[in-house]
Chains A and B, each alone.
Chain A
Amino acid sequence: MVAALALGACSGGDTAAPAIGAPPPGEQRLAATQVLRRAVDAGGMRSIDPSLSTDVPAAHVLDDLFEGLMRLGQDGEPQPGVAERWETSADGRTWTFHLRAARWSNGEPIRAGDFVYAWRRTVDPRTASDYAEALSPVRNALAVAEGKLPVAALGISAPDERTVRIELNAPTPFLLSLLTKSYTFPQYEPAYRAHGEDWVRPENMVSNGAFRLQEYVIGGRVTLVKNPLYWDAAHVRLEQVVYLQLDRAAQTERFFAGDIAFTDSFSAEQTAWLRARLGDQVVSAPYLGNFVLGLNVTRPPFAGNRALRMALTLGVDRETLVRYVRQGLYQPAFTPTPPLPGYHAPVPAWAKLPEAERHALARRYYAEAGYSAAHPLRVEMHYPTDSDNRRTYEAVAAMWRANLGAEVEPYNQEFKVQLNERHLKQQALFHYAWIGDYPDPLTFLQLFQTGFGYNDGGYSNPRFDALMSAAGNDPDAARRLDELAQAEAILNEDVACIPLYYYATRHLIRSYLRGWTSNIQDRNLSQYMYLLEHQDH
Chain B
Amino acid sequence: MLRFLLRRLLIAIPTLLVIATLAFMLLHLTPGGPFDSDKVLVPQIQRAIEARYHLDEPVWRQYLRYLGQLAHGDFGPSFQYRNTSVNELIAQGLPVDAAIGSAAMLLALLLGCATGLIAATRPGSWRDQLPMGVAMLGISVPVFVTAPLLILVFAMRLHWLPAGDWVAGSWRHLLLPAVALALPYTAYIARIVRSAAIDALGQPYIRAARAKGLPPHRIVLGHALRPTLLPLVSFLGPAIAGVLTGSIVVEQVFGLPGIGHLFVTGALNRDYTVVTGITVLYGALIIGLNLLVDLCYAWLDPRVRDRA
Q: Residues of A with Cβ closer than 8 Å to B?
A: 42-43, 46-47, 49, 52, 54, 125-126, 128-133, 142, 145-147, 196-198, 200, 217-221, 244-247, 249-250, 253-254, 256-259, 414-417, 419-421, 423, 434, 437, 452-454, 537
Contacts and interface: CB of A to CB of B under 8 A. Distances in A.
A289 to B, nearest CB: 12
A454 B38 contact: yes
B39 A54 contact: yes
A474 B96 CA distance: 56
A45 to B, nearest CB: 9
A250 B84 contact: no
10 A-B pairs with the lowest CB-CB distances in the bound complex, closest first: A416-B32, A220-B257, A257-B163, A197-B83, A146-B44, A47-B82, A219-B257, A420-B32, A43-B265, A128-B49
Nearest to A44: B265
Interface in B27-57: 30-33, 35-46, 48-49, 51-52
A421 B30 CA distance: 12
Contacts, number: 149
Given A420-B32, A420-B36, A125 B44 contact: yes
B40 A453 contact: yes
Nearest to B264: A43
B255 interface: yes
A142 B42 contact: yes
B151 A220 contact: no
A243 to B, nearest CB: 11
B62 interface: no
A146 B257 CA distance: 37
Contacts of A453: 40-41
B262 interface: yes
Interface residues of B, number: 51
B253 interface: yes
A221 B173 CA distance: 14
Given A54-B37, A453-B41, A419 B32 contact: yes
Interface stretch (B8-16, B63-71, B154-162, B222-230): B154-162
9 contacts: A46-B82, A130-B41, A130-B46, A200-B83, A217-B257, A221-B166, A415-B32, A416-B36, A416-B270
A133 B42 contact: yes
B270 to A, nearest CB: 6
B261 A43 contact: yes
Interface string B69-90: 0000000000011111000010
Contacts of A217: 92, 166, 257
A419 to B, nearest CB: 6
Contacts of A200: 83
B167 to A, nearest CB: 9
B268 A416 contact: yes
A254 B164 contact: yes
Interface of B: 30-33, 35-46, 48-49, 51-52, 80-84, 89, 92-93, 148, 151, 155-156, 159, 162-166, 252-257, 261-262, 264-265, 268-270
B42 A132 contact: yes
A258 B163 CA distance: 9
A326 B32 CA distance: 30
Contact of B84 (A218, A253, A419): A218
B45 A128 contact: yes
Contacts of A257: 151, 155-156, 159, 162-163
B81 A47 contact: yes
A138 to B, nearest CB: 13
A247 B252 contact: yes
Contacts of A247: 252
Given A218-B81, A219-B262, 9 more contacts: A54-B39, A128-B51, A218-B89, A246-B255, A249-B253, A256-B156, A257-B162, A414-B268, A416-B268
Contacts of A125: 44-45, 48
B37 A130 contact: yes
Contacts of A414: 32, 268
A511 to B, nearest CB: 18
A198 B85 CA distance: 12
A416 B31 contact: yes
A95 to B, nearest CB: 23
Contact of B165 (A218, A258, A259, A437): A259
A421 B38 CA distance: 12
A418 to B, nearest CB: 9
A147 B44 contact: yes
A174 B156 CA distance: 45
A220 B82 contact: no
Which of A132, A245, A250 has the most chain B CB atoms closer than 10 A to its own CB? A250
Contacts of A258: 159
A78 to B, nearest CB: 22
A128 B51 CA distance: 9
B265 A254 contact: no
A256 to B, nearest CB: 5
Given A43-B265, A197-B83, A219-B262, A244 B44 contact: no
Contact of A415 (B41, B156, B268): B268
A246 B254 CA distance: 8
Which of A42, A128, A249 has the most C-beta atoms of chain B within 10 angstroms of its own C-beta? A128
A250 B31 contact: no
A126 B47 CA distance: 11
Contacts of A249: 148, 253
A46 B81 contact: yes
Nearest to A257: B163
A221 B265 CA distance: 17
Nearest to A197: B83
Contacts of A46: 80-82
Contacts of B46: 130
Contacts of B151: 253, 257
A131 B268 CA distance: 21
A420 B31 CA distance: 7
A333 B80 CA distance: 34
B31 A417 contact: yes
A245 B255 contact: yes
Contacts of A131: 39
Of the listed residues A126, A217, A253, A437, the one surrounded by the most CB atoms of chain B closer than 10 A to its CB is: A253
A126 B256 CA distance: 34
A259 B35 contact: no
Nearest to B81: A46
Contacts of B42: 132-133, 142, 145-146
A200 B33 CA distance: 26
Contacts of B92: 217-218
A234 B37 CA distance: 40
